[in-house]
Structure 1
Amino acid sequence: MYTTIQLIHSWWAYLVLFIVLIATINALAGYAGNKEYTPKDFRIALFALIVTHLQFLIGLILYFVSPLGLQNISNNGMGEVMKNSEFRLYAVEHPLIMIITVVLITIGYSKHKKKLVSKPKFKMLAIFYTLGLVFMLSRIPWQQWFN
Structure 2
Amino acid sequence: MYETIQFIHSYWAYLVLFMLLIASFNGIIGFAANKEYSATNFRIALFTLIVSHIQLLIGLILYFTTPYFKMWAEEGMGGVMADSTLRLYNVEHPLMMIIAIVLVTIGYSQHKKKLTSGPKFKKLAIFYGLAFVVMLSRIPWATWF
**Same-fold call, TM cutoff 0.5:** yes
Q: Quick one: distance in 2 between partners of 1:50 and 1:71?
A: 30
- Structure 2 matches for 1:97-136, cutoff 5 A? 97-136=96-135
Structure 1 residue 107, shift from structure 2 partner: 0.1
Alpha-carbon displacement from aligned partner over 1:107-130 (angstroms, at most 9, x marks no partner)? 000000000000000011011001
One-letter amino acid matched to 2:78 = G
Deviating more after overlay: 116-125 vs 70-79: 70-79
> Which residue of structure 2 lines up, in the alignment, with residue 95 of structure 1?
94
Give the partner amino acid of 1:136. M
- The within-5 A match list for 1:32-71 is 32-68=32-68, 70-71=69-70
Q: What secondary structure sits across from 1:34 in the alignment?
A: coil
Instruction: Tell me, in whole angstroms, the C-alpha distance in 1 between the residues paired with 2:39 and 2:82.
Output: 48
How far, CA to CA, are the matches of 2:36 and 2:111 in structure 1? Answer: 14
Q: Please, what TM-score do these two structures have when normalized by structure 1?
A: 0.97
Letter in 1 for 2:21: L
Q: Deviations over 1:68-115 (max 9, x none)?
A: 2x3221221111111111110000000000000000000000000000
Describe the SS at the equivalent of 2:67: coil
Structure 2 residue runs without a partner (length 5+): none
TM-score by length of 2: 0.98
CA-based RMSD: 0.6
Q: What residue ranges of structure 1 are gaps of 5+ in the alignment?
A: none
Give identity over the alignment, percent: 66
Matched pairs, number: 145
Q: Which secondary structure state, in structure 2, belongs to the residue aligned with residue 129 of structure 1? A: helix
4+ residue runs over 2 A deviation: none
Alignment-mate amino acid for residue 26 of structure 2: N
Partner of 2:19: 19
1:78 alignment partner in structure 2: 77
Q: Aligned partners of 2:70 and 2:130: how far apart in 1?
A: 30
